[in-house]
Amino acid sequence: MARHIAANFVNLMILALIIAGGVVYWGQNEFVKSGPLAEAVYMEVPRGGTITGVSKNLAELGAITNPMVMRLGAKYTEKDHQLKFGNYEIPAGASMADILEIITKSGRGAFRYVASYKINISGSKMVLSERNAESGELDEIASFAAGEDLPAAYTDLVRARTPINYRVTIVEGTTSWQVVDGLLKADFLGGAVDAIPAEGTLSPNSYEVRRGTFSSEVLELMGEAQKNILAEEWEARDSLLPLQTPDEALTLASIIEKETGVSSEREEVSAVFINRLNKGMKLQTDPTVIYGLTNGEAPLGRGLRRSELSKKTKYNTYLIAGLPPGPIANPGRAAIRAALHPNASNNLFFVADGTGGHVFAETLVEHNRNVAKWRKIEAERRRQQGNN
């Protein structure tokens, strides 16, 4: 009798082991096999998110079939406590193992919705885009200027607390006043700004932020970035430049930034100003005069009048010698680099050529001929506008 009971017990143990082995095999297969998604979806791992909550969310999205297997697989692979906060694209057919790799590898995920807010000299504008799950390309779904009524496509997402990747872009040549004005008009940023940062100290670039970030925090990011850029570029500067401090380099860079939007011209424009400084000539640059009139608070919107060119301000480089007392805008790295690495050139003059660029000259005689050509171009344009 005892033998019979022992034999049955052994048989039951063997059966249990077989079943357990089968369950383990099934679970492993479920964990690594292709998932049920027919097309990619987007999901968020919240701050402090757990594998329990994430696996439940994935099941609701139809990305996995068994949350328990996902949890056990995460525990077995020791990734259950490695979840990274962020928004992620889960591709079609992704296995649980694939998904776990995606959401534990990096906190920089792929947002379905991207709001790009650009602060420019002429104002601020937001473009709302949706990422195509198949191609990964961003398709614009709404655009609006700061201060306009917010479109429903945007407000509906905000009300639903849909994850949105906000990007703030500062365009080269914007003034600090314009940057602050743009930040304060952004509906997704908060807080006040106690003081406008010193001109030139903000780095034009793109910055990713979260909804509710304070404007002052964004300004701190921009300021720290510009500080580091200026230090790096100053350290690598050419020798024998007539620039005594990084602040003077920043001032010259801001003038270069405002004088040309053609990247290939920056070093030559820099050479003209460096040559003028070396010869003790006045810089005679219109953007500095304009800054003296507007304090960087708005574009002038027209050409300078003769009376304005002779108006005495501390930024009027037709009247003052050398550099103005400080930057007239926020220059990008390329302009800072150009200020510190000018072309080897003897040019002392330049004027617009009618194509968006400039024509350069070593002598005043040559420059006057170039100016005469430019005036003919301007006159022809005015005539055509009058006919229209």
Max CA distance (Å), the chain: 123
Task: Confirm if 209 and 177 have CB atoms less than 8 A apart.
Answer: no
State the pTM of this model.
Answer: 0.75
d(CA 64, CA 61): 8
Looking at the DSSP bridge assignments, the partners of residue 209 are: 166
Average pLDDT taken over every residue of the chain: 88
Specify the pLDDT at position 188.
Answer: 94
Q: What are phi and psi of 314, to 5 degrees?
A: -70, -5
d(CA 255, CA 372): 24
Task: Confirm if 267 and 285 have CB atoms less than 8 A apart.
Answer: no
- The size of the chain, in residues, is 388
- State both tokens at 275: 């040559």
Specify the pLDDT at position 353.
Answer: 85
Ranges under pLDDT 50 in the chain? none
Strands 113-120 and 164-170: parallel
Q: CB burial class (10 A; 0-12, 13-18, 19+) of residue 338?
A: buried
d(CA 291, CA 175): 10
Specify the pLDDT at position 234.
Answer: 97
Q: Which of 53, 80, 89, 55 is nearest to 69 (CA)?
A: 55
DSSP state of 68: H
d(CA 81, CA 178): 44
Angle subtended by helix axes 333-340 and 266-279, to nearest 10: 40
Specify the pLDDT at position 63.
Answer: 87
Residue with tokens 């328990």: 68
Q: For residue 373, how many other CB atoms are within 10 A of its CB?
A: 15
Specify the pLDDT at position 111.
Answer: 78
Specify the pLDDT at position 241.
Answer: 96
Q: Which of 98, 101, 106 is nearest to 36 (CA)?
A: 98
Task: Confirm if 51 and 74 have CB atoms less than 8 A apart.
Answer: yes
d(CA 371, CA 84): 60
